[in-house]
Structure 1
């Protein structure tokens, strides 16, 4: 008979180290722990800032591409209108009565393709998604940095610094997980289902 092992969240059976437990340790041990935790914690904060900067770059790129496709559609619309105007002018030579209507139809088809491609790539919505994502990452970075500077750094090697640091590190991991989930859903929705969470778009 096979028993299915139930998976438990990491740290389920671990003991919470309170201020009294940290106070019983040597100051050198607490400081070493705090310094290690400080470096690990700020890797998350720095990554939040970096992801916010990446979103700015993607926003600029998507905005530029949206403007490019809009110009193409606008110019294409003008070309189709000119060709249709010429085709409607029967005072032109006989050959134009056949060539111009065909050219107008081809130009209209090309314009339709451009318009569909613009809608498919949806660069305008992508840009908005990256702008909103940038605010999420930036807010998380600033808040995470602030609470660390207020509740950990002032206490140096004290027991309170270790207790607060351990709790804030747990929280920043949860924030990171939550942000990545929100970013994935936000860009996926704005990107027409293709998902813009991966690099290289």
Structure 2
């Protein structure tokens, strides 16, 4: 009988330039599985061959049988651990494991407009102001990781209490949220102010 020169296997996960037996990955990203034979001398052809298994295959949108590529589905919760196993098809008792931990992608999770000092915003999102007021609106943002973003402020026309456009507008600084209201606003006039992520087509916004 041929002596089993296959002593073991080693499994590493490769994600971008990172490679290891335990790696972190964002959802929606690709990785690949790299298996190595641990053997004495030359490994005969018939002893070659491996298969890859994942304990949470339902969380993968792609899982190539040869380990060349797998992809974690979007929306998998941060902190989730996936264990990959490589088994020798020659001797199934020979296996190796590697783990992937899902980490949260840097992002702007939520965005709200914050009232300046002396003002308050109601549950319905209404801030009461007076004609000619001058103030600076601020944002309350929940950010994950080292995500950086710039606000972009804008406002639509001033509408009167009956919901008709007055054709007038307020002055608002797109970068700072500084607002100057015209002196000739009437009681019941409204204007909608929006802040969104600068130059992000489908970024977060609040108004």
The bucket for the TM-score relative to the shorter chain is: under 0.3
TM-score normalised per structure 1: 0.25
TM-score normalised per structure 2: 0.24
Higher helix share: 1
Q: Which has the higher contact order (CA 8 A, sep 6+)?
A: 1
